[in-house]
Chain A
Amino acid sequence: MAPYDSVLDLIGNTPLVDVSALSPSPGVRILAKLEGQNPGGSVKDRAAKAMIEEAEKEGLLHPGSVVLESSSGNTGIALAMICRVRGYRLVVVLPENVSVERRQLLEVWGAEIVPSPGEEGSNGALRGARALAAEHPDWYFPYQYGNPANPKAHYEGTGPEIWRDCPEVTHFVAGLGTAGTLMGVGRFLKERNPAVQLWAVEPPAGEMVDGLRNLDDGFVPPVFVDNGGAELLDRKMIVRARESIEWTRRLTEVGIFAGISSGSAMAAAARGAAQLDEGVMVTLVADGGWKYLSTGAWTADLDEVTERATRLIYF
């Protein structure tokens, strides 16, 4: 194998692993796409790289430029790694109640952290970033929730990789978040095979850290709206904290040490698999478990971890 020019060239091309041992239905295969294998440790490396490269192409970034983003962790970490390599300064608006490892990783890459109120969740971080962007028009604000490069990274990367490795896929199951992964992968797979089912998984964030002062402050990502998300999706499920943590633990039975949102996706895949006689599901493991060790998700009492999940942003 030829040497890589840059660690950023390692982004993408993640492995698909059969985890059917966890399938409740013998006729339904479940495959996990391990995005934690990306160099920054999560699926967000893809969107972050695409957004930075797009901005570079448009001439928006120069050595020493400031990049600003709101993030509950992974996008910030991915951008921090990329900005460090490319010579940009990164400012991340981060809810103060994320796991400590996310903050530590941002510090590893030299990002500047602007805390946002924990009870306002990701919505509050986004509000904070918008305010900073208005104050500093010379800063580049990729705005992952509305940047077309985000779903495009998945339309051109994640989707084709899944199709290449598993053209027999019948279902794709992933967390909703910015909708970048689901819109990009979903559009690509449905163009190849319109029968592919697209399932979105949401943590019950709205019942925990929803950050709303009133409902009119609600938010649907432009990436979702612009890609016709409501028509593209076939199903959307809530997976609650307890079930997410249980499935994060079960993933270790097949040797996968994953973040808690991956437990949510796996729980949704298993719930759906139990209702089917046959199928081939691909589920997205968005990141590894390292950033969540301090939460005690694998080892502490399940009730305690679940209770803490109502206060911390785990997903």
Chain B
Amino acid sequence: MPVSVRLPTVLRTHAGGLSEVSAEGATIGEVVDDVVRQFPGTANHLKAPDGALHRFVNVYLDDEDVRYLGGLDTPVSDGAEVSIVPAVAGGTG
């Protein structure tokens, strides 16, 4: 089942300038792997060498951070929206 994946500005150069791509997978891990398969330039930006998510990458499934769901094993249902968002300094500080 294809889901839409929103990419941050910093990854778009590795994805043909696209801000949103379509990817397949039953879990977040499979969706991320499919993004990497389509756009190999994103690999080092999304995953750490040990296969975990890059520490400065937050992946949201329907606006919920997957680290507090099931991580890469979080199931993804049809029509879900996945957002990849870099960890940056922020807030009203």
Q: A residues within 8 Å of B by Cβ? A: 42-44, 70-75, 121-123, 125-126, 144-145, 175-178, 202-207, 210-221, 230, 233-240, 259, 261, 286-287, 315
Contact = CB atoms under 8 A, between A and B. Distances in A.
Given A207-B85, A212-B10, A212-B86, A218 B93 contact: no
Contacts of B87: 206, 218-220
Nearest to A178: B93
**Taking chain B's interface residues, is the majority helix, strand, or loop, or is none over half, making it mixed?**
mixed
A221 B65 contact: no
B89 A126 contact: yes
Looking at A42, A176, A212, A261, the one whose CB has the most chain B CB atoms below 10 A away is: A212
19 contacts: A123-B88, A145-B89, A177-B90, A177-B91, A202-B58, A202-B85, A206-B58, A215-B56, A217-B56, A218-B55, A218-B57, A220-B56, A233-B68, A235-B64, A236-B68, A239-B63, A259-B92, A261-B91, A315-B91
Contacts of A234: 68
Interface residues of B, number: 27
Contacts of B65: 202, 235-238
Interface of B: 6, 8-11, 45, 54-58, 60, 63-65, 67-68, 83, 85-93
Contacts of A216: 56
A116 B51 CA distance: 35
B92 to A, nearest CB: 5
Nearest to B66: A236
A214 B93 contact: no
Given A215-B11, A215-B45, A237-B63, A210 B86 contact: yes
A72 B68 contact: no
Contacts of A74: 92-93
A176 to B, nearest CB: 6
A176 B67 CA distance: 15
A283 to B, nearest CB: 14
B83 to A, nearest CB: 7
B10 A177 contact: no
Contacts of B92: 42-44, 72-74, 175, 177, 259, 261, 286-287, 315
Nearest to A125: B89
Contacts of A215: 10-11, 45, 54, 56-57, 86
A43 B93 CA distance: 9
Given A74-B93, A237-B63, 8 more contacts: A44-B93, A75-B93, A121-B89, A122-B90, A175-B91, A205-B90, A206-B88, A286-B92
Looking at A72, A122, A213, A215, the one whose CB has the most chain B CB atoms below 10 A away is: A215
A219 B63 contact: no
B68 A210 contact: no
Contacts of B45: 214-215
B13 to A, nearest CB: 9
A41 to B, nearest CB: 11
Looking at A71, A175, A236, the one whose CB has the most chain B CB atoms below 10 A away is: A236
A211 B83 contact: no
B21 to A, nearest CB: 14
Looking at A72, A178, A202, A286, the one whose CB has the most chain B CB atoms below 10 A away is: A202
Looking at B54, B55, B56, the one whose CB has the most chain A CB atoms below 10 A away is: B56
Nearest to B63: A238
A206 B55 contact: no
A240 B63 contact: yes
B10 A214 contact: yes
B65 to A, nearest CB: 4
